[in-house]
Copies of this chain bind each other. A is one copy, B any other.
Amino acid sequence: MGLLGGTGREGQALALRFAHAGVPVIMGSRSSDRAREIASSLCRRLGHDLISGLENREMIRNSDLIFLTVPFPEAAGAIEVYADSFQEGSILVDTTVPVAFEKGQPKYNELPEGSASEFLAGRLPAKIALAGAFKTIPTHLLGDLTVPLACDVFVYSDFDQARERVMAFAGLIPDLRPINAGGLSAARTVERMTVLAIGINRRYKIKTARFRVIGL
């Protein structure tokens, strides 16, 4: 799997979790030097060499399952720059959340398309299957391998095969249960759940709020 803009916080956290679960990860960055440097430093922490680094475009050419891990404000730009490089049938997993802060309170950034994932889907070539996942899991927890995640990851896509593949892939992480959240419009719910969790964190003075479905 590859990480588009993977040297940021979300990318590093996903790289650690997946590599820790034994999955080879290619970290992409605008700078191949930076990608390799961060990949090496994460590998040293893990004590193996499952994380490698490449310039974003090279990472895309070598991956058919790619996680978009830039912050939301940079997501559309990244798609515009790199979309041509994607292989036919590639899966892009959106992990962004459009959240803003107003007077210290988290606020969902309402988009005319209904959600970040739907906004991004409209900017992607038809050859790429967009899915969404990992939106509701706090980044710092994802990157802290001493903490079992013990929660669910909501996975959605209008492409059934893409959704199933991302679910199977997410299920490689121990103690994380993938949930089939349905089609792309589920993003309207799942992204807002992240903002709800941030609000809960602030009100309860914690940093760990995340979700689990009961009764399943």
- Distance A208 CA – B215 CA, assembled complex (angstroms): 5
Instruction: Write the chain B residue with the least CB distance to A179.
Output: B200
Name the interface size band of chain A.
20 to 34
Per-residue CB contact flags for chain A residues 184-207 toward chain B (1 = under 8 Å, else 0) read: 001011101101110110011010
- Distance A203 CA – B209 CA, assembled complex (angstroms): 26
B193 pairs with A216, CB closer than 8 A: no
Tell me what chain A mostly uses at the interface: helix, strand, loop, or mixed: mixed
Report chain B residues within 8 Å CB of A181.
196, 199-200
Report chain B residues within 8 Å CB of A197.
213
B211 pairs with A213, CB closer than 8 A: yes
A208 pairs with B216, CB closer than 8 A: yes
| Residue contacts A-B, CB under 8 angstroms, 15 given | A105-B182, A141-B215, A151-B214, A151-B215, A182-B203, A189-B192, A189-B193, A189-B195, A189-B196, A190-B196, A200-B213, A209-B214, A209-B215, A211-B211, A211-B212
Give the oligomeric copy count.
2
Instruction: Write the chain B residue with the least CB distance to A106.
Output: B182
Q: Is A150 an interface residue (CB 8 A)?
A: yes
Q: Is A63 an interface residue (CB 8 A)?
A: no
Q: Is A20 an interface residue (CB 8 A)?
A: no
Report chain B residues within 8 Å CB of A40.
none
- Distance A125 CA – B210 CA, assembled complex (angstroms): 36
- Distance A179 CA – B195 CA, assembled complex (angstroms): 14
